[in-house]
């Protein structure tokens, strides 16, 4: 497996994103992007706390499924709740991850960190962010696009100590090969580069490495927020 990893504070004073690539079993890797929630205290610390707890739990597992992933998030929730009580402050994080083995990828998320799957440079699947905007669209409560967009950054699920509000969604990709590429990115990336624009970059440049370098250079100019991404493929 080959990876491309980039994280940057953007135009913020600090970087509250945390990225992790860790071997957690024979030919099995955990990829995580955790986004400390904007406007809350201790975002950077909590992002690292969430990443460490998910990684610690999943490193003890031999068979991975959605139930075990939820248990790892529950462990992170407990750690965040204890941290909040100790610091007497609001804090939390959103997360997306991939458990990647030679022939299978289990993709999961809580909140608005996104996961994309590309095959031969074409978008195959992407996660649906847990935001109030998506809930409003799904329930058809509003039709005005400008009004709906106001809810884009209000997350409805996150890791901040409440298990009920941190239920994991996931999708699985089987029979992966060297034509597959997976990408995890924080909202600082996908606010600007949606799946279609990422696909265009992949088709424009000769390698995924060149495409990601171009994306990151553009983000340095355009991104107002922290931006982080991990790309993984058998043959980047």
CATH number (domain holding residue 129): 3.60.40.10
Residue 153 has pLDDT above 90, yes or no: no
**232 vs 77: CA distance, rounded Å:** 27
Total-model pTM: 0.93
Structure confidence at residue 212 as a pLDDT band (50, 70, 90): very high
Residue 1 has pLDDT above 90, yes or no: no
Q: Tokens standing for 133?
A: 């905007």
**pLDDT (tens digit per residue) in 216-229:** 999 999 999 999 99
Structural domain boundaries, residue 199: 2-233
End-to-end Cα distance, the chain: 8
The dihedral over CA atoms of 214, 122, 105, 24, expressed in degrees to the nearest 10, equals -10
**pLDDT (tens digit per residue) in 53-100:** 999 999 999 999 999 999 999 999 999 999 999 988 889 999 999 999
**pLDDT (tens digit per residue) in 56-68:** 999 999 999 999 9
**139 vs 136: CA distance, rounded Å:** 5
Query: According to the model, what pLDDT value does residue 140 have?
Result: 67
Mean pLDDT for 146-166 is: 83
Residue 236 has pLDDT above 80, yes or no: no
**pLDDT (tens digit per residue) in 17-44:** 999 999 999 899 999 999 998 666 789 9
Query: According to the model, what pLDDT value does residue 10 have?
Result: 93
Number of independent structural domains in the chain: 1
Query: According to the model, what pLDDT value does residue 150 have?
Result: 67
Structure confidence at residue 4 as a pLDDT band (50, 70, 90): very high
**pLDDT (tens digit per residue) in 117-150:** 999 999 999 999 999 877 776 776 656 556 556 6
Helices (H), the chain: 43-58, 66-87, 132-139, 145-149, 187-190, 195-204, 208-222
Do the beta carbons of residue 92 and residue 156 sit within 8 Å?
A: no
Percentage of the chain with pLDDT > 70? 92
Q: Tokens standing for 10?
A: 């953007």
């Amino acid at each position: 497996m080959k990876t491309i990893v980039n994280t940057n504070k953007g135009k913020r004073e600090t970087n509250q994103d945390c990225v992790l690539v860790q071997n957690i079993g024979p030919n099995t890797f955990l990829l995580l992007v955790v986004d400390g929630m904007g406007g809350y205290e201790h975002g950077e610390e909590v992002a690292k706390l969430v990443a460490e707890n998910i990684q610690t739990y999943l490193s003890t597992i031999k068979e991975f499924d959605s139930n075990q992933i939820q248990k790892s998030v529950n462990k992170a929730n407990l750690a965040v709740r204890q941290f909040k009580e100790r610091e007497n402050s609001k804090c939390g994080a959103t997360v997306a991850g991939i458990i990647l083995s030679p022939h299978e990828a289990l993709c999961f998320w809580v909140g608005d960190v996104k996961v994309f799957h590309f095959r031969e440079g074409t978008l195959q699947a992407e996660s649906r962010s847990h935001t109030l905007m998506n809930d409003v669209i799904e329930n058809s409560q509003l039709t005005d696009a400008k009004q709906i967009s106001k809810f884009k950054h209000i997350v409805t699920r996150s890791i901040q100590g409440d298990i009920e509000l941190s239920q994991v969604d996931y999708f699985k990709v089987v029979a992966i090969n060297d034509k597959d590429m997976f990408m995890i990115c924080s909202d600082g990336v996908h606010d600007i580069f949606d799946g279609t624009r990422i696909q265009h970059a992949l088709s424009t440049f000769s390698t995924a490495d060149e495409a990601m370098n171009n994306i990151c250079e553009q983000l340095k100019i355009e991104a107002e927020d922290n931006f982080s991404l991990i790309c993984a493929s058998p043959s980047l």
